[in-house]
């Protein structure tokens, strides 16, 4: 029997490996497609040539090189970073709130970051260099607010989502009001409201890479706590977890990841909902395997959505935030109908 057991354990490792390999391959393929398609399309050979070290031989090659390395490459990389951060942020929130429907976009965490960022930009423009800090504070505050509203002798997963939706809507109203009041200065604000990767350069990639590296490393430190919290508060406490401390730590890391993306590319919803859900279906709920899988599904999703957004309607850029809302909303409803991920005993 021990032999078949070993085989089964081996099978599940093999399965995880296969899932990662397939996702990585899909991501690589999508990455090349994202570099190739657009207002002018390039072949794989042209892309690789442009990415290579050789000096461009003529103007055409030089143009291709500029478009690929200065426009599409940073944008694609940014999509990967943003997707990873949002996806992992969602996965962590889902453990903290014990609800697979939690997502920084839908329950107001991103809106908290956006609200803080917009407020700073419009009302205190001399502080604009500290937008990321305030975005994080806004996200953390939104988290806290959702908790306080949902707390009633304990945290009920449904109440969390409902109070999150309420927080999201109030913050949305406030943001809309600020826009009306400052209609002469909408450029910066609109960027936050509809997350978009258009026109982002290597500068944003560098900043985002630092945030992503820090946030994802912190997320790895959360794996044990995230797993324990899925077993309920009392069981987690029994296992020696400081439940409240773990909640705060996980929420903070999640808020940090979400706020980092908001301050660089604006609000993008549903990635934190859909990408972890797909990852869960593929590899299960053990965060040790789930978090790396979320990084893959999240980056694949944002890259796909952004590429679709800039190619599906020639001549028009649909911001990636809008693509995600249009496709993510129906997905959210689908998940609401088919709950049952968590089974009581």
Partner 1 sequence: METEILRAEDLKIAYGERVIVEGMDLSIARDKITTIIGPNGSGKSTLLKAITRLIHFQEGSVFLEGKDLLSFKPKALASRIAVLPQIHTAPADFRVKDLVSYGRMPYQKMLSGKSREDERIVEWAMEQTGVAAFRDKSIYEISGGEAQRVWIATVLAQQPQVLFLDEPTTYLDIAYQLEMMQLVKRLNRETGIGIVMVLHDLAQAMEVSDHVIVIKKGKKYAEGRPEEVITCRMMKDVYDVQCEIMRIQGRTKPLIAYAPV
As given in the structure block, the two tokens for residue 103 are 């997502």
Q: At what angle do helices 131-150 and 243-265 cross, to 10 degrees?
A: 140
5 near partner 1 (CB under 8 A): yes
69 near partner 1 (CB under 8 A): no
154 near partner 1 (CB under 8 A): no
241 near partner 1 (CB under 8 A): yes
340 near partner 1 (CB under 8 A): yes
Contacts of 225 (CB under 8 A, 6+ apart): 95, 236, 241, 246, 249, 250
Nearer to partner 1, 236 or 301 (CB): 236
Tell me how far apart the alpha carbons of residues 179 and 202 are, in angstroms, rounded to a whole number: 29
286 near partner 1 (CB under 8 A): yes
Per DSSP, the residues of 39-103 read: SS---HHHHHHHHSSSPP-SHHHHHHHHIIIIIIHHHHHHHHHHHHHHHHHHHHHHHHTT-TT--
Q: Would you give the binding string for partner 1 spanning residues 105-134, x where CB under 8 A is met?
A: ------------------------------
Map the footprint of partner 1 across residues 26-55, applying CB under 8 A: none
CA-wise closest residue to 179 among 104, 114, 113, 105:
114
Tell me how far apart the alpha carbons of residues 315 and 134 are, in angstroms, rounded to a whole number: 35
12 near partner 1 (CB under 8 A): yes
Burial class of residue 184 (count of CB atoms within 10 Å of its CB; 0-12, 13-18, 19+): exposed
244 near partner 1 (CB under 8 A): no
Which stretch of DSSP H or E encloses residue 330?
helix 320-337
227 near partner 1 (CB under 8 A): yes
Query: Contacting partner 1 (CB under 8 A), which of 206, 242, 312, 329?
Result: 242
Which ranges in 266-286 belong to alpha helices (H)?
271-283
Dihedrals phi, psi of 155, to nearest 5 degrees: -105, 120
237 near partner 1 (CB under 8 A): yes
91 near partner 1 (CB under 8 A): no
Nearer to partner 1, 194 or 286 (CB): 286
Nearer to partner 1, 7 or 128 (CB): 7
Contact window for partner 1 (CB under 8 A) among 84-92, 116-124, 240-248, 294-302:
240-248
Map the footprint of partner 1 across residues 296-315, applying CB under 8 A: none
Residues that bind partner 1 (CB under 8 A): 1, 5, 8-9, 12, 220-221, 224, 227-228, 230-232, 234-235, 237-242, 280, 284-286, 340-345
């Amino acid at each position: 029997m021990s032999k078949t057991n070993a085989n089964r354990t081996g099978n599940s490792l093999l399965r995880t490996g296969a899932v990662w390999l397939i996702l990585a391959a899909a991501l690589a393929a999508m990455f090349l497609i994202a570099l190739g398609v657009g207002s002018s399309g390039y072949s794989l050979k042209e892309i690789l040539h442009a990415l290579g070290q050789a000096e461009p031989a003529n103007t055409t090659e030089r143009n291709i090189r500029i478009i690929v390395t200065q426009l599409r490459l940073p944008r694609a990389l940014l999509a990967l970073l943003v997707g990873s951060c949002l996806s992992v942020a969602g996965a962590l929130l889902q453990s903290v709130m014990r609800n697979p429907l939690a997502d920084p976009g839908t329950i107001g965490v991103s809106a908290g970051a956006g609200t803080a960022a917009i407020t700073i930009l419009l009302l205190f423009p001399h502080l604009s260099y500290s937008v990321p800090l305030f975005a994080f504070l806004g996200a953390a505050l939104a988290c806290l607010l959702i908790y306080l509203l949902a707390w009633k002798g304990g945290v009920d997963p449904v109440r969390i989502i409902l109070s999150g939706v309420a927080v999201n809507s109030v913050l949305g109203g406030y943001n809309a009001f600020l826009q009306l009041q400052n209609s002469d200065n909408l450029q910066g604000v609109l960027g936050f409201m509809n997350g978009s990767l258009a026109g982002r350069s290597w500068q944003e990639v560098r900043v985002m890479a630092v945030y992503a590296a820090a946030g994802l490393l912190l997320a790895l430190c959360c794996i044990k706590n995230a797993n324990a919290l899925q077993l309920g508060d009392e069981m987690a406490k029994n296992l020696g977890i400081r439940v409240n401390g773990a909640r705060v730590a996980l929420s903070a890391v999640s808020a940090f990841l979400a706020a980092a993306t908001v301050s660089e590319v604006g609000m993008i919803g549903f990635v934190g909902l859909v990408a972890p859900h797909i990852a869960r279906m593929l590899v299960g709920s053990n965060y040790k395997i789930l978090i790396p899988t979320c990084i893959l599904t999240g980056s694949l999703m944002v890259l796909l959505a952004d590429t679709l957004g800039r190619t599906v309607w020639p001549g028009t850029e649909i911001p990636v935030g809008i693509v995600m809302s249009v496709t993510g909303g129906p997905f959210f409803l689908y998940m609401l109908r088919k709950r049952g991920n968590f089974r009581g005993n």
